[in-house]
Amino acid sequence: MKEEVATAAGDKIIKDTDALTGQDYSSNLTKNLHLFREINARLKAIDPNVFIVGENFDGHAYHVAPYYEGLDSMLNFYMYYNLSQATSMGGHTKYDTWSKAAIVSGANTSGSDTFSEAGLSYGGKWNYNDTFIAYNKYRSEGAATSGEAVDSLFTSNHDVTRAINQSIGWLDNIGEITGPGNVTLANKTLVEKQAIAYMSGIILLPGLSWIYYGDELGLASNLPTGATLQDPNIDRIFRQPMKWDKEGNDSRTTQYSFTGAQTFDVAWDDYNAVLDGVSEQNVDTASMLSRMKKLTALKSATDALKYGSYAPLPLSQYANNKSVFAFKRTLGSDTYNVYISLWHSNISGLNLPGTVVLSLEGASKTTLPAWGVLVTKL
């Protein structure tokens, strides 16, 4: 991001201009892909297990997907922004998944992120199913020796708002999310549920799951009073130290400062200072960490959730409710259905198939509570 390194006289972009034609290839996608393919091939010739993950901050599927031809994986910013926004919108009564971030992914979805809709802003008519298809067109021709690259879904990272803040949001007077919300002791119980619902998608969808340190605890990135996300060095709030214990006595707890627009001490803010750490949450079966461990343990133990195919589940399976993200993962004879409620109220009267293998927030085959998560095996 532009604020991470101060500019100075003499700084320059190194141009790549063809001496014969005068063509400027500095930002040319095709030539970049040729370079990535060559780098990837040469590294794999040394060690076939080399795995290259790329980062393209643009996000849009039709801009990012081509890089799968030269890279083994790409951090999925588009999923980060849109799934978290859909979760955030579900916390408000004005939420309408049909016209907002359409996370629902069945035949009734009215729009999607396709090449013909390339002019739409983030999440205008987005659904995961069509984005997944767009990515796979390039992943099937990817650089991995298997002929298929892998998606990299992440909860947040050091350059963007943390998962728990991104899962809630400020709603303006026309029903649009205008920015991340702040976590307080008063809303902590509720927003932890929202964050877990969001991260359930990140963990249970196809690909690698990257959990940014502290997201599993509910570590927040609340904006200081009067600050904006455009302020110089604001990324310091995303990089607060890991909470190994509540009081900060664990020797692994870091402390540091840096000088940018001014000198900043990077330390816990008022909310994070009183948040339970790993030590406390490990022994609390109701903690956010304990609930997150159920998700990661299920994925680690279930081949279908690690390697299986993906397909959306039709909306009719949950009473045509447009606030449930539902999909199935299949490997061989094993099929798992995943139901994630992105809604602030209970959804009842369901008749979902299979045997329950994971339930969060009291989810069952007949009822999905607010922000409930249910996984069944058929």
Residue 50 has pLDDT above 70, yes or no: yes
pTM of the model: 0.84
Of residues 180 and 207, more confidence is placed in 207
What is the pLDDT of the chain when averaged over all its residues? 79
DSSP string computed for 273-284: HHS--HHHHHT-
361 found inside a domain: no
In percent, the amount of the chain with pLDDT more than 70 equals 72
Which of 128-142, 155-169, 271-285, 323-337 is least confident?
A: 128-142
Please name which of 66, 79, 55, 78 lies closest in space to residue 143, comparing C-alpha atoms: 66
Q: How far apart are CA 96 and CA 321, in angstroms?
A: 11
Residue pointed to by tokens 């840096």: 258
CA 65 to centroid of chain Cα atoms: 16
346 found inside a domain: no
311 found inside a domain: no
Domain residues for the domain of 173 are: 29-305
351 found inside a domain: no
Cα atoms in the 13 Å half-sphere on the side-chain side of 128: 29
89 found inside a domain: yes
Sequence-separated (6 or more) residues with CB below 8 Å from residue 210: 75, 152, 153, 154, 155, 157, 202
210 found inside a domain: yes
Residue 108 has pLDDT above 50, yes or no: no
CA 326-329-331 angle, 5° bins: 165
CA 223 to centroid of chain Cα atoms: 20
372 found inside a domain: no
10 found inside a domain: no
Sequence-separated (6 or more) residues with CB below 8 Å from residue 191: 164, 167, 168, 181, 183
Q: pLDDT per residue over 316-371, tens digit each?
A: 455 445 578 888 999 999 999 999 988 888 888 888 999 999 999 999 999 999 99
Max avg pLDDT among 2-6, 163-167, 178-182, 311-315? 163-167
> Count of domains in the chain?
1
Q: How far apart are CA 22 and CA 19, in angstroms?
A: 6
CATH number of residue 156's parent domain = 3.20.20.80
